[in-house]
Structures are given as structure tokens and as C-alpha cells.
Amino acid sequence: MKCVTKFVSVPSYSPALPLCSSFFKCKHYSFNPKFTHIKVLVNASMNIRERRAIKAMSSSTPNADMEDANEEEKSDVYSTNMTEAMGAVLTYRHELGMNYNFIRPDLIVGSCLQTPADVDKLRSIGVKTIYCLQQDPDLAYFSVDINAIREYASTFDDIQHLRAQIRDFDGTDLRMRLPAVVSKLHKAVNRNGGITYIHCTAGLGRAPATALAYMFWVLGYKLNDAASLILRNRKCYLNVDAIKSATADILTGLKKRSITLTWNGENCSTVEVSGLDIGWGQKIPLQYDEKHGSWILQRDLLEGRYEYKYIVDGEWMTNTNEPVTLVNKDGHINNYVQVVDEDPESASAALWTRLGTDDFDLTASEREIIKHFLDEYPDEE
């Protein structure tokens, strides 16, 4: 099979986007947070809280200076990747410490905790639930000791540290994970009360999106109103389409449909696909069908539009026999598949039509369905 386009680099960020509504995004943002410092007294009977806090307040040394320079470089790389992935100019300076903004009196969106001392900072402003959306590689990149933070938080009975992981820079994973993530958040808020602190790494993508979904699904906000409130208080990127898609997933009972992808060609040893519902950082191998001389992938997908690309013997390629996108802003072309209810008069089709409008809102009955879903969703570990 001849291909239209070959790429040696991974395609740019392109999550499953079944809708035509605009994203909420900011043009420029850099952090300039102000910090408070926690004083710790050392004595012979030092307990775990004191040991953790003192470890976080080490004095400046040549090694510390080198670490600071390394953190600055990592922040530069992370900010560049974030801007490229999200299509909005965003900056995160890890070396400046934790930063955050109140969205509501009881809801904060911010960057990651870096040391156990950050737990004290959040307790001092009344936070009862710390909700971490980072994956282990995110933490390792900036050398954050999550176990030390969680261990320190567990020594208090007035704050709880919870994790619910979402892959960074991946709108598809955000969509897939939001029902479970918001369910866990909803139950934690009901249990702990007080102020909730939601964070990812920079607090500019996953955390505000989770806050938006929570406000939309649980607190009764209209989607546009909640998005506007978040953006007034914290400049960030809101993947509204991922939240709309996750809303449809819940209301349609997480209904999936089977699709088949085919790569015709015998003169290759491996064929994989990336994108779809797994994100661009993951790959799925196709199975070779000797009878037909083609490579096959069958997969069940939630309704929506998914972009993907083949990797044939290590080279990124589009399939000319399957639908292709227009050239995107980075000059890339991808294949795509539209997974829809074949009956245009179905309730599912009507819902997707409503989701495509700029002023979409939930009906009272839909809000009840979502609340029941979140209440009954199985708890994660």
C-alpha cells in the first residue's frame, strides 16, 4: 500500500474530539506565586511531622544550586511541551514552588505539592482534601517524593490526600478517566467537607478540567458559566470538548461500538496504531491475517470522533483507504474514525447534536442521571 504521508515524529496532540465547539484557552500565562514558609523547631523527640518538614527546608549549598538550575531547565522543557500539546502559550516554573488560585471559597486549583511542608501550607488555609491527578512519571520528572507527602498528610486527622491519575497532555485519557475521577472527588468532598485542593503538575490542564467537570456535573453550574468562573480566577487551558464527550459517555451508559481498522500489505513485519482511545503516547499492534494478506485491529470505542495513525515498521503513516483529516497546524495529517449511532433519530444522536451547541446545558433529569452514576461508580484504590 502506498501512503500519502510519512512522519518520523509523533503526531501532535489530537484527542478524540467529536464536537465542533471552541476550546477555552489563554494566550499568555507565567507564574509569579508568593510563598509562605513553615518554621519548624528541632528537639530530641522529633516526630515524623518535624522530620519531614525539616527535610523540605534544607539550606542552600552548591549541590542545591545545581539542582535549582536543573529544575529551571526541566521547567523550560515542560512548558514547551505543554504549549505544543495544548495549543496555548502556558508556562510552569516548578522551581518557584506550589502556586494556586481559589475558584470558589471551597475549591482551589493549583500546581503540585513538592514537599511535605506544602501540606502544612494547605492546612493553614482550611484545605480538607488534596486531590492529586499526577501519574508516577510526572512525579519522577520533577523528583517529587509523593510517598513522603502522603505519609506526612496521613499523620493529621483533618486532611486527606487522594490520588486519581490522568495522563498528562492527553485529551482522550482525560475524557475516559473523568467519570471515575469526578466520582471519587465527589465522594471525598461529601465525606471531608471544607476546602478541596485539586492539582496536577502545573495546575493548568488536568486540574482545571476536573474542577470544571465537578462544577458542571455536581454543583449544578452551566458549563459555560463554570468555565468562565475558572478562567476569571486562573489562566489555564480547559478541554471543554473532552468534558462534553465524557458527559455523553455517562448519559449513554458508557455505550461502545465495534470498529475495524485494516492495513493492507504483506511486505512489512510490524503494524501498530496510535491515537484512538489510547493517546499518541501509546501503541496497539495489529494482527496479521494470512488469508487476506492484511493487518487487522478490532476495537470497541465510545461514541465520538477519534484520530489515529499507523506505525509500519517504525514509520508513522496514514492509510489512504481510510478517512484522513485536513493538515493540522503542525503540518500533520491523521486518519480518523467517527463512531456514532447509526439511527439519526435516536436519543444518542440528539444528545450529540445538543453537545455541539455553544450554550449546551443539562436538563434536570440528566443531572439526576449523572449524580446517580457518580454516587454508584465503583471506588478506585
Query: How much is the average pLDDT of 160-168?
Result: 97
Rounded to whole angstroms, the Cα distance separating 77 from 231 reads 25
Question: What residues act catalytically?
Answer: 200
Residue indicated by cell numbers 527535610 = 55
The amino acid occupying position 315 is E
State the pLDDT at residue 69: 65
- Per cent of the chain over pLDDT 70 is 82
Q: What is the mean pLDDT of residues 355-373?
A: 94
State how far the Cα of 203 lies from the Cα of 79, in Å rounded to an integer: 12
Residue 224 scores a pLDDT above 90: yes
Q: What is the pLDDT of residue 6?
A: 29
For cell 462534553, name the residue.
244
The class level of CATH for 48-238 reads alpha beta
The pLDDT of residue 349 is 87
Which residues make Cβ contacts (< 8 Å) with residue 100, sequence separation at least 6? 33, 108, 109, 110, 111, 197, 199, 203
If DSSP codes are grouped into helix, strand and coil, which group holds residue 70?
helix
The hierarchical CATH code for the domain 1-23+252-381 is 2.60.40.10
- Of 23-37, 153-167, 180-194, 265-279, the poorest mean pLDDT is in 23-37
Q: What mean pLDDT value characterizes the chain?
A: 84
Can you list the alpha helix ranges (DSSP code H) found in the chain? Answer: 48-55, 62-86, 117-124, 136-141, 146-153, 171-192, 206-217, 223-233, 240-251, 347-355, 364-376
What's the pLDDT tens digit per position in 111-147? 999 999 999 999 999 999 999 999 999 999 999 999 9
More confident residue, 4 or 343: 343
Out of 16-25, 36-45, 71-80, 214-223, pick the least confident. 36-45
Cell of 243: 468534558
CA-nearest of 29, 79, 81 to 235 is: 29
pLDDT-derived band of residue 68, with 50, 70 and 90 as boundaries? low
pLDDT of residue 328: 85
88: confidence class by pLDDT, cuts 50, 70, 90: confident
331-340 residue pLDDT tens: 899 999 999 8
Q: What DSSP state is assigned to residue 95?
A: G
Let me know: does 238 contact 202? Beta carbons within 8 Å. Answer: no
Residue 300: in which H helix or E strand, if any? strand 294-302
Domain boundaries, the chain: 1-23+252-381, 48-238
* pLDDT for the residue 143: 97
Q: How many Cβ atoms from other residues are within 10 Å of residue 104's Cβ?
A: 16
Summarised one tens digit per residue, pLDDT across range 17-64 is 333 333 333 333 333 333 333 222 223 233 445 544 444 433 344 454
pTM, to two decimals: 0.79
